[in-house]
Structure 1
């Protein structure tokens, strides 16, 4: 690394840009993760119930698992506003940011995978658990929430942690629609200073620190789940 590169990294303005980019990445991840895990749980409950919408849930899952994430982001940001009524289109352009559309696309994509991980976990729960809960007078939704899904989450914990790691890394695709997250800042810095190596080394180290932190949290949660069984 030459002196020019070191000078770029030492610039307080550059450090501030990376800090803002990191905060935007974390905000994007947290918002998408909350929505994705909530929607994923809802999808698996609908799909396992045998209700009429279960076929629609299956189609939703297949679409999001088989279409590249970047395409889904483009569909939401460029495509969906175009098919809205004119008044809604104007509202979307005026009030809905690229950040919002990125959260929608990322959370829907992650929810499809999370629902499948939860479904695998539910299948591992003995059927007698549901039968016992229903025999005690619980409704289907209460039995799923308090008895089946809680056990399924423990069994699917490693896969769910992997989905969180994947979601964090996928947030970098939001730069394609102008969200000023970490990789957007890196590309901007590279274009303005030509300090390519430090521009991309910095987000590499930040992503690595974030993913290792998530892995540590996931490991701790899995250990806690074992002790509470």
Structure 2
């Protein structure tokens, strides 16, 4: 300590501690390795003429690619609707004390999770080979009307059934896990207030289970977006098939695969942001401090300050679930 410091310290007081920041050489070494690898990747993308970026720009907004993109988005949305709705019903059946209902749900999940989705798509596509006509009538009795199976189940419907029914099996386990994460006391309290089983499930159990259900459901949606590429095996023109059709004529395979990859990356990025905000919404009432949004993170990054978190307005006495 110099003379000025000695003069500022009163007798009997401890000396001021000079804090020395802890050095982390391993972090700097890791950051340097990552920076070098990133620079090598950018250099390879820019200097390798086999990527043919001019061709990528040419076909990025091609009408065939945009049509395939629309089919991919439509398949993803409808398949997830079927999966979420069917999975919720299967989960409730699986938890039912009725052995017929629970056994039927278990068998469905066992079959659809136990066979590859590509095999299921092919089965739906070639269903006409098993039943050339589908009929409506009395079971084991006369039929009132029939129609060709291939006409009733065209390519798009076959793809939708294959993707949606398979997703329902996975969503059933996700919803079942969410329902079982809610305390049994919630159900008992609702029944004590005179609520029926269906009302308890709809108004008490499922809203609380959403915090557990949403994260894996978001992952399933992103996975479904990419799984739709399998329908190219039954000749349905979605995003990947549209790219394949173009490079089969032009022989520009790599640029078209880059185009397809760019669109998949863009869509998965959007879905990731949407999933984050949905998770953040259902975290209200459970967490006192909400994580910062992506915009808040960006502001904190450019301002040099740590991103601010948000404290939800929790109603006193309802810290576990209620909010304003």
TM-score when normalising by structure 1: 0.91
Partner of residue 193 from structure 2, selected from 130, 133, 136 = 136
Aligned residues: 228
Structure 2, gaps ≥5 residues long? 1-47, 136-145, 286-320
Indicate yes or no: 2:109 matched with 1:61: yes
1:44-123 alignment runs, 5 A limit: 44-51=91-98, 52-78=100-126, 80-84=127-131, 86=133, 88=135, 90-123=147-180
Structure 1, gaps ≥5 residues long? none
Q: 1:4 and 1:156, CA in 2 relative to 1: closer, same or farther beyond 3 A?
A: closer
Instruction: Please give the secondary structure, in 1, of the residue aligned with 2:264.
Output: helix
Shift of residue 95, structure 1, vs aligned partner: 3.9
Higher RCO, Cα 8 Å, sep 6+: 1
Partner of 1:209: 266
Distance 2:281 2:152 in 1: 42
Q: Is the 8 A contact 2:155 2:236 kept in 1?
A: yes
Distance 1:58 1:4 in 2: 48
Distance 1:179 1:36 in 2: 20
Partner of residue 275 from structure 2, selected from 201, 218, 223 = 218
Distance 1:63 1:219 in 2: 32
Q: What whole-Å deviation, never above 9, does each CA across 1:67-106 have from its counterpart, x for those lacking one?
A: 111011111111x333336355843322432111111110
Distance 1:87 1:131 in 2: 46
Q: 1:136 and 1:85, CA in 2 relative to 1: closer, same or farther beyond 3 A?
A: farther
Between Structure 1 and Structure 2, which shows a larger proportion of helix residues?
A: 1
Q: What whole-Å deviation, never above 9, does each CA across 1:168-226 have from its counterpart, x for those lacking one?
A: 11111111111110010111112111101111111111111111111111110111111
Q: 1:4 and 1:162, CA in 2 relative to 1: closer, same or farther beyond 3 A?
A: closer
Q: 1:87 and 1:147, CA in 2 relative to 1: closer, same or farther beyond 3 A?
A: closer
Pairwise CA RMSD:
2.1
Instruction: Please give the secondary structure, in 2, of the residue aligned with 1:156.
Output: helix
Partner of 2:256: 199
Partner of 1:187: 244
Question: Highest Rg: 1 or 2?
Answer: 2
Q: What whole-Å deviation, never above 9, does each CA across 1:127-184 have from its counterpart, x for those lacking one?
A: 0111111222222122112211221121222111111111111111111111110010
The structure 1 segments of at least 4 consecutive aligned residues displaced by more than 2 Å after TM superposition are: 1-14, 80-92
